[in-house]
């Protein structure tokens, strides 16, 4: 071998060794497990805040009407004032009823005399049992007629069924009123009811006694309420559950108002909360990569509630599972993964 060819051979051997080393180094990198941060699934307290809209309602509300068709002779209430339960608000004409009642009283007086006479004559066999029974029945019938007339007279006095505030009067004295004519509205606003719907999926997580807050337009105050009633059925049209709450400090609130309700659920009743970046699309919907025995396993899951950075897993995970939350674009099923606890 000539001397001038020796440097060329040395250079070739050197390049070959470098290529072999590079190849060997590349194979080592390819066989190394992929590093990824993992999250250990566990039960942790988690409060969810729901927002919905509701309607304010009075504790009690009624539109007063007359049960009789009669002339209104006296208005005893001032518009917009507070009234007590049982207060006389309107008086209808009862002159004919009072005259009929006086007639019945006179007939009762005569029937009483006839009954007393029959009581004396029957033991002496001066009258028959039939005559005695007729006098007794006549008196009882008149007393019942008097009771009926007294009830009619009572209905000419329209009284407040509960304490509250009356609104705008719809009639004037002298008007002929009937059951179809509204007289005035009465509202008890000492407490305010708040009716609001919740999506069907939260129906098992809302309970009586649960607290909520709400605001109304034009009022910067935040009001507190407590859930008092749950509708026993889901609305088939809206797929929502109607909930009623009660506010005991309703200063400044009016029935019919619009309320923005905020409700905090006590916690999760099903599943686990995991970082939202752990959930990836799969042919069956949503999935996560569970690291088992150093290998990535794609597991299909069912998700529920979402927040800005977490998602509820209803089915598919168990407590203690390690799920990948980084390098998700590079992970494939059965790929070796070196888990790093976050």
Instruction: Write the DSSP assignment of 130-195 as a string of letters.
Output: HHHHHHHHHHHHHHHHHHHHHHHHHTTEEE-SSSEEE------TT-EE-TTSEEEEEEEEEEEEEE
Structure tokens at 45: 């307290």
Do 215 and 53 contact (CB within 8 A), yes or no? Answer: no
User: Is the pTM for the entire model greater than 0.75?
Assistant: no
Determine the number of helices (DSSP H) and then strands (DSSP E) in the chain.
3, 20
Structure tokens at 291: 């690291």
Residue 57 has a pLDDT of: 97
Coil, strand, or helix at residue 61?
strand
Residue 4 has a pLDDT of: 47
Do 145 and 105 contact (CB within 8 A), yes or no? Answer: no
Residue 202 has a pLDDT of: 86
Do 328 and 286 contact (CB within 8 A), yes or no? Answer: no
Residue 28 Cα distances to 24, 25, 33, angstroms: 6, 5, 10
- Alpha-carbon distance of 272 to 41, in angstroms, equals 7
Coil, strand, or helix at residue 87?
coil
Measured from the Cβ of residue 260, the count of other Cβ atoms closer than 10 Å reads 15
Per-residue pLDDT tens, the chain, 342 aa: give them.
444 444 454 454 443 444 444 444 444 345 689 999 999 999 877 777 889 999 999 999 999 999 999 999 999 999 999 999 999 999 999 999 999 999 999 999 999 999 998 989 988 888 889 988 898 999 999 999 999 999 999 999 999 999 999 999 999 999 999 999 999 999 999 999 999 999 998 888 899 999 999 999 988 899 999 999 999 999 999 999 999 999 999 998 999 999 999 998 766 666 788 999 999 998 889 999 999 999 999 999 998 878 888 898 989 999 999 999 999 999 999 999 999 987
Residue 198 Cα distances to 201, 238, 246, 308, angstroms: 8, 10, 16, 20
- Alpha-carbon distance of 337 to 328, in angstroms, equals 11
What domains are defined for the chain?
34-46+270-341 (2.40.420.20), 50-59+188-265 (2.40.30.170), 94-155 (1.10.287)
Residue 78 has a pLDDT of: 97
Measured from the Cβ of residue 194, the count of other Cβ atoms closer than 10 Å reads 26
- Alpha-carbon distance of 264 to 23, in angstroms, equals 59
Closest CA to 289 of 305, 270, 310, 275: 275
**DSSP notation for 242-274:** EEEEEES--TT--TT-EEEEEEEE---SSSEEE
Coil, strand, or helix at residue 10?
helix
- Alpha-carbon distance of 165 to 94, in angstroms, equals 27
Residue 12 has a pLDDT of: 45
Residue 243 has a pLDDT of: 97
Do 305 and 47 contact (CB within 8 A), yes or no? Answer: no
């Amino acid at each position: 071998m000539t001397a001038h060819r020796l440097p060329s051979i040395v250079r070739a051997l050197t390049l070959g060794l470098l290529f072999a080393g590079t190849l060997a180094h590349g194979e080592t990198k390819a066989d190394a497990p992929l590093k990824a941060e993992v999250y250990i699934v566990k039960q942790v307290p988690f409060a969810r805040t729901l927002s919905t809209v509701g309607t304010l309602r009075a504790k009690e509300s009624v539109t007063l009407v007359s049960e009789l068709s009669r002339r209104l002779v006296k208005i005893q209430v001032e518009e917009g004032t507070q009234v007590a339960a049982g207060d006389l608000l309107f008086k209808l004409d009862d002159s004919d009823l009072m005259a009929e009642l006086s007639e019945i009283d006179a007939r009762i007086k005569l029937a009483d005399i006839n009954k007393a006479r029959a009581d004396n004559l029957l033991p002496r066999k001066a009258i028959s049992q039939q005559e005695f029974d007729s006098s007794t029945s006549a008196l009882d019938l008149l007393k019942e007629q008097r009771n009926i007339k007294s009830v009619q007279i009572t209905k000419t006095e329209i009284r407040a069924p509960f304490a509250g505030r009356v609104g705008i009067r719809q009639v004037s004295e002298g008007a002929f009123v009937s059951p179809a004519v509204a007289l005035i509205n009465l509202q008890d606003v000492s407490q305010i009811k708040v009716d609001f719907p919740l999506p069907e999926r939260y129906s098992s997580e809302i309970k009586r006694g649960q607290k909520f807050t709400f605001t109304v337009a034009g009022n910067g105050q935040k009001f507190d309420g407590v859930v008092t009633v749950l509708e026993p059925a889901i609305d088939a049209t809206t797929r929502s559950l109607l909930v009623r709450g009660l506010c005991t400090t309703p200063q400044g609130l009016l029935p019919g108002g619009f309320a923005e309700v905020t409700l905090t659920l006590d916690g999760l009743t099903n599943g686990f909360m995991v970082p939202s970046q752990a959930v990836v699309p799969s042919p069956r919907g949503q999935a996560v990569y569970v690291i088992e025995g150093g290998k990535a396993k794609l597991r299909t899951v069912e998700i529920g509630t979402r927040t800005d950075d977490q998602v509820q897993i209803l089915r598919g995970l168990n407590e203690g599972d390690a799920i990948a939350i980084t390098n998700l674009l590079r992970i494939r099923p059965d790929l070796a993964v070196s888990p790093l606890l976050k």
